Amino acid sequence: MSAEIDFYELLEVERTADEKVLKSAYRKLAMKYHPDKNPGCQDSEAKFKQINEAYACLSDPQKRAAYDRYGHAAFQQGGGGGPGGFGGSADFGDLGDIFETIFGGAFGGGGRQQARRGGDLRYDMEITLEDAFHGKSAEIAVEVAQSCQPCSGTGATPGTSARRCNLCGGHGKVRAQQGFFMVERTCPTCHGRGEVIESPCKSCRGEGRVDAEQKLEVQIPAGVDNGTRIRLAGKGEAGPFGAPPGDLYIFLHVKRHRMFEREGTTLLTRCPISFTKAALGGEIEIPGLDGARHKIEIPAGIQSGKQLRKRGAGMPVLQGRGSGDLVIEIQVETPTKLSARQRELLREFQATETGEETPQSKGFFDRIKDAWNDLTE
């Protein structure tokens, strides 16, 4: 045994620590001082051996009882030459899982590497606002890796089959000594598959997959918006050597509309009206995406920027019930071309103005007048 450092101090636990606390402390320290995380550091390697020695003792009830009673002397002078002197070796149990994840299989089993699922694919589709309103069915063509038909995705020439890898014995992993541990790595011959193809399929060259165009029918529901994602399960790339395929994700992009803007389920449009209609009131008709012509009442004296709302004439709720609203923003338009008679009538109207007809203007000029008086006093 090396330096006689107290095992409990090495694991940084109390002497009353139970099995769960011991295991947690050991995991933390083993990850910290593992040689793979500290390559070339002899101090870390020595520390790693010490904490393994400590855990090998304290994780065994018989060895721990002897250590608690006699200390390091329990394993000296006939005590077995170390914590392993009681026979057997430390049972690390499920501790191997964490090392296999972090250090590439140092404690892992020798099972064959499972076939990887096929990759997911992305397809960007542009649609109109009308398509988003009503929904539609569309056909798309996607270039994708598909399972090879002649070999049924095995990668071997029809009539033949893959053989077990001689290097790893079909386990998909090989072992090598690395510092204190026996480390498992992916087999370099079969790349973790556990099998070797001696007669590759000529169609896919042993890959089990070929690139081909795939035509798919896509159902776009009513109410979709920019960035809406549609998932087609199992329509992505085929997995290698018969593994399950991935998924195809369709991302929707809605074209800019010449008349409507969209905010969620609300449709917004801007409608210019004459200043006489704004003054006298009236009615306008707005064609909706639903194909109907919506009549909108214009109240007398309406101002530019005022918004009028038509309930239920907006976008449908995606995968829900009901629809949003249609909002019309009024823009009062000043005439640019007037006939002589129109000018005459406007001058007559101007002569009758008292200021009460335009309360906002009157209030504005009253504030200017007050501000000017304050400056001149």
- Tell me the binding residues for Zn(2+): 148, 151, 165, 168, 187, 190, 201, 204
* CA separation for the pair 243, 43 (Å, rounded): 45
CA distances from 174 to 31, 195, 240 (A): 22, 13, 21
Please, which residues have CB within 8 angstroms of residue 329's CB and are 6 or more apart in sequence? 268, 269, 270, 271, 305, 306, 307
Tokens of 333: 């338009």
328 sits in which H/E element: strand 326-333
* CA separation for the pair 262, 149 (Å, rounded): 47
Binding-site annotation, residues:
148, 151, 165, 168, 187, 190, 201, 204
Q: Select from 137, 138, 136, 128 the least CA-distant residue to 289.
A: 128
Tokens of 219: 């159902």
How large is the angle between the packed helices 61-70 and 42-58, nearest 10 degrees? Answer: 100
- Residue 257: other Cβ atoms inside 10 A: 16
Q: What is the rounded end-to-end Cα distance, in angstroms, of the chain?
A: 102
CB 135 within 8 A of CB 241: no
| DSSP result, 123-166 | EEEEE-HHHHHH-EEEEEEEEEEEE-TTTTTS-BPTT---EE-T
Phi, psi of 333 (to 5 degrees): -105, 130
